[in-house]
Amino acid sequence: MATFQTLPGFRDFYPEDLAKRTHIFRLWRQTAAAFGFAEYDTPVLEPLDLYRAKSGDEIEGQLFGFTDKGGREVALRPEMTPSVCRLVGARANALKRPIKWFSIAEFYRYERMQKGRGRCFYQLNADVFGEPGPEAEIELIALLVQCMRAFGLTDKDFCVRLSDRMLWFQFLGSLGLDEPRIRSLLAAVDKHERSGDDAFKGYEESFGKIDDELKRRVLGFLGIRSFGALEQALGEPGVSAAVSGRLADWRKLLDGLGAMGLGDYIQVDLGVVRGLAYYTGFVFEAFDRKGELRALAGGGRYDDLVGRLGGPELPAVGFAVGDMTFALLLEERGLSPVVSQAPDVYCILGGEAERKAAFADINRLRAAGFRVDYPMRDLGFGKQFKAAADSGAKIALIYGGDELAKGIVKMRDLVDRTERDFPASGVEAAVRGFFEGG
Ligand code: HAM
For the Cβ of 88 lying below 6 angstroms from any atom of ligand 1, the answer is no
Mind listing the pLDDT tens digit for each residue in 44-66?
Answer: 999 999 998 777 777 888 999 99
Q: Which residue's alpha carbon is nearest to atom 1 within ligand 1?
A: 298
Residue 158 pLDDT grade (very low, low, confident, very high; cuts 50, 70, 90): very high
Concatenated DSSP letters for 129-195?
ES--STHHHHHHHHHHHHHHHTTT--TTTEEEEEEEHHHHHHHHHHTT--HHHHHHHHHHHHHHHHH
Lowest pLDDT segment from 56-60, 229-233, 300-304, 340-344: 56-60
Asked whether the predicted pLDDT for residue 28 surpasses 60, the reply is: yes
392 in Cβ contact with 381 (< 8 Å): no
Ligand 1: atom nearest CA of 295 is 10
Distance 246 CA to ligand 1 centre (A): 27
Distance 321 CA to ligand 1 centre (A): 6
For the Cβ of 56 lying below 6 angstroms from any atom of ligand 1, the answer is no
Instruction: Please name the residue ranges forming H helices in 81-134.
Output: 81-90
Distance 297 CA to ligand 1 centre (A): 6
Classify domain 15-42+77-332 at the CATH class level: alpha beta
pTM > 0.85: yes
Residue type, 4: F
Cα–Cα dist 55/48, whole Å: 11
Asked whether the predicted pLDDT for residue 438 surpasses 60, the reply is: no
78 in Cβ contact with 59 (< 8 Å): yes
Looking at residue 429, its pLDDT comes to 96
Looking at residue 54, its pLDDT comes to 74
Looking at residue 277, its pLDDT comes to 85
Q: Which is the CATH superfamily of the domain at 345-435?
A: Anticodon-binding domain (3.40.50.800)
Looking at residue 240, its pLDDT comes to 65
Asked whether the predicted pLDDT for residue 255 surpasses 70, the reply is: yes
Contacts of 423 (CB under 8 A, 6+ apart): 407, 408, 409
Ligand 1: atom nearest CA of 320 is 28
> Taking phi first (over 0 means left), then psi (-120 to 50 degrees means alpha), and beta for anything else, what does residue 164 get?
beta
Mind listing the pLDDT tens digit for each residue in 378-423?
Answer: 999 999 999 999 999 999 999 999 999 999 999 999 999 999 999 9
Residue 104 pLDDT grade (very low, low, confident, very high; cuts 50, 70, 90): very high
Residue 233 pLDDT grade (very low, low, confident, very high; cuts 50, 70, 90): confident
**Any bridge partners for residue 284, and if so which?**
162, 299
Q: Which long-range contacts (CB under 8 A, 24 or more apart) does 204-208 make?
A: 206/180, 207/181
Pocket test for ligand 1, best of 7, 37, 99, 121 (most atoms within 8 A of CB): 121
Higher pLDDT, 59 or 217: 217
Residue 337 pLDDT grade (very low, low, confident, very high; cuts 50, 70, 90): confident
Residues of the chain with CATH 3.30.930.10: 15-42+77-332
